Amino acid sequence: MRIGSPKETYAADEALFRTRTQWAWFGVLLAALAGFPFVANLYWLYLVCLVSINVIAVTGLNVLTGYTGQVSLGQAAFMGVGAYTVAWLENHTGSPFPVNLLAGSVVATGVGLIAGLPSLRVKGLYLAIATIAASFILLFIFKNWESVTNGTRGIGIEPPSAFGVALENPDTFYWLVVPVTVVMLLLASNLFRTRIGRAFIAIRDRDISASVLGIDLPRYKLMSFGISAFYAGMAGGLYAYFFGSINPESFPLLMSIFLLAAVIVGGMGSMLGSILGGIFMTLVPELLRYGIDFLGLFMENASAVLSPVRTVVFGLLIVGFLLFEPLGLAEIWRRIRRFFHLWPFRT
């Protein structure tokens, strides 16, 4: 690939979307997202909102676990921090919702940085276990810091309003959550075009040689934790607004496992993977519900097994993908794309 005028063309070669086709597809995608509310019913919009919230949290976790190689089982708890911050601000200061969401993310970032401190001493599995510990401690705080969190009773949150419209239902909330998700995905994608993203991947692939090559491990590990928690905080804040109430049960360890599963199923170290994983893992329970409803036609109280079946399926997905498709749905997608030569996104 010898190119005439290097300056311009190398810049173009470094772009997020490198070809005109890719730009075109991105445009089509945005247009589809913008048009969707006008054709879909509330149920579908509800699903998209839920998917979006999950995609944000999964993207954050992917930055930390998929790209930086630091396994975390604390993502749901960080979401909780964002959610409680938003709830508290909403109920006590009445500050506008964008401020609340940002504040929630920032507070979550701070907590994430603290929870990331063990990563300076330990790595891999030890770290995963340290994040479980952090998660338990946060849940304990949610339960017991009554004056702020209202304990196990939880807190109610008024829906945010913009331009005099309450973003109460999925058809309006959509316009908040989907753009935020798109922006956050673009930001994360940008990160991996720069030295910071490369430093993350280097830490994942071979931390000690990264350090010898000039990567300051503590700095970048903590940065990754911070970013991941920021995304969790944003997702948690949106969650609080979307569901209108939160309690300590909203962010259990199981949800962290769910998010980790989404990262694995979607594809570790791939933005496309975060999206696909977020979509897939949100839709699986829905599909299961249909399946069980269908079973209910032949079977008494089939609905009772819904929750355990979901648990089994989540587990099987984690195991199955790790065994048979460790690069996740993103890799399957890539294979399909190679087959059809269609899709715009670079991996």
Partner 1 sequence: MDWLFLFEVSLAGLGRGGLYALTGVAFVLIYKATRVINLAIGEMLMVGAYLFIGFGAGMALPLWLAVILALLGGALLGFVLERTAIRPLLGENPISVFMVTIGLSSVLVGLVEIIWTANPRSLPDLLPRDPIFIGDAFVAPKTFWSFVIAAGVIAVFLLLFRFWRGGVALRATASDQGAAYAMGINVPAVYSLAWALAGLLAAGAGILLGAISGASSSMGVFGLTVLVVVIVGGLDSVLGALLAGVLIGWVESVAGVYLGGEYEQLFTFSILLVVLLVRPWGLFGTREIERL
Partner 2 sequence: MSTLEVDNVSLSFGGVNALNAVSVTVEAGGITALIGPNGAGKTSLFNAVSGFYRPQAGRVLFEGRDISALRCPQRAALGIGRTFQNIALFRGMTVLDNVKLGAHVRTRTGLFSALWYLGRARREETQIREQIEREVFDFLEIDHIRRHPVAALPYGLQKRVELARALAMRPRLLLLDEPVAGMNREEKEDMARFILDVKEQWGVTILMVEHDMGMVMDISDQVYVLNFGQVIASGRPETVQANPEVIEAYLGTDDMTTLRRRLRGESEAA
Place of tokens 């970013």: 227
Residue from 209, 245, 303, 311 in contact with partner 2 (CB under 8 A): 209
Region of 48-56, 139-147, 193-201, 233-241 interacting with partner 2 (CB under 8 A): 193-201
199 binds partner 2 (CB under 8 A): yes
CA distance 144 to 81: 14
The contacts of residue 244 (CB under 8 Å, 6+ apart) are 156, 157, 158, 159
Residue from 32, 208, 213, 336 in contact with partner 1 (CB under 8 A): 208
Residue from 9, 91, 209, 303 in contact with partner 1 (CB under 8 A): 209
Residue 250 DSSP code: G
What, of partner 2, partner 1, none, does residue 316 touch, CB below 5 to 8 Å by kind?
A: partner 1
Reduce the DSSP state of residue 242 to 3 states and report it. Answer: helix
Residues 8-67 that bind partner 2 (CB under 8 A): 10-11, 13-14, 16
What, of partner 2, partner 1, none, does residue 262 touch, CB below 5 to 8 Å by kind?
A: none
4 binds partner 2 (CB under 8 A): no
140 binds partner 2 (CB under 8 A): no
Residues 322-341 that bind partner 1 (CB under 8 A): 322-323, 326
Q: Give the residue ranges of DSSP H helices in the chain.
A: 6-13, 20-39, 42-61, 75-92, 97-116, 124-144, 146-149, 170-191, 195-212, 217-243, 253-266, 271-296, 306-324, 328-340
AA identity, residue 328: G
Place of tokens 């309006």: 172
Q: Which residues pair with 162 in a beta bridge?
A: 165
- Reference 64, options 138, 134, 143; nearest CA is 134
307 binds partner 2 (CB under 8 A): no
What, of partner 2, partner 1, none, does residue 217 touch, CB below 5 to 8 Å by kind?
A: partner 2
Residues binding partner 2: number (CB under 8 A): 37
CA distance 141 to 25: 45
217 binds partner 2 (CB under 8 A): yes
- Reference 237, options 81, 109, 96, 72; nearest CA is 81
Binding characters for partner 1, 263-282, by CB under 8 A (x = yes): -x------------------
205 binds partner 2 (CB under 8 A): yes
Torsion of CA 295, 301, 305, 306, to 10 degrees: 60
Place of tokens 């769910």: 258
Q: How far is the CB of 61 from partner 2 (least distance, A)?
A: 17
145 binds partner 1 (CB under 8 A): no
Query: According to the 3-state scheme, what is the secondary structure of 174-192?
Result: HHHHHHHHHHHHHHHHHHC
211 binds partner 2 (CB under 8 A): yes
317 binds partner 1 (CB under 8 A): yes
Q: How far is the CB of 329 from partner 2 (least distance, A)?
A: 18
Question: Interface with partner 2 by CB under 8 A: which residues?
Answer: 1, 6-7, 10-11, 13-14, 16, 187-188, 190-191, 193-199, 201-202, 204-206, 208-217, 223, 227, 269
